[in-house]
Amino acid sequence: MNAVRLSPETQLRVDLLFLLSEREEASRLLIEECGNKLPFLEKLDEYQLERFRFAALKLSGGSMERLRKSIAQAKTDWRDLLVAAGFGNDVNIHESWLPSK
């Protein structure tokens, strides 16, 4: 199974949250660890994965350590990740989240 790239909106949020020197690693983690390797998300594309990736990014607050923890939580049970990020009750609410620089 090939890793699913980031959507333009996901990349925008990575760019807003992380230092230039961390963006490549943050993107890599999302592509390789927080994508269609997550349980029951195997067939989703980069746009369908936005909700999960945005949740991990939101909880990271721009910290690589917190991003890794958020991705680990997603691997265990991504529903907990969605709830923690405030994306659990509305399948479209993540679309309105945009971090400030």
- On the question of pLDDT at 101 being above 70, the answer is no
Question: Residue 81 to residues 20, 22, 27: CA-CA distances in angstroms?
Answer: 25, 22, 18
Q: What's the pTM value of the predicted model, to 2 decimals? A: 0.95
- pLDDT for 2 equals 75
- Give one DSSP letter per residue of 42-86, joined into a string: TT--TTTTHHHHHHHHHHHTT-HHHHHHHHHHHHHHHHHHHHHHT
Tens of pLDDT, residue by residue over 34-85, are 998 899 999 999 999 999 999 999 999 999 999 999 999 999 999 999 999 9
Q: How far apart are CA 101 and CA 93, in angstroms?
A: 20
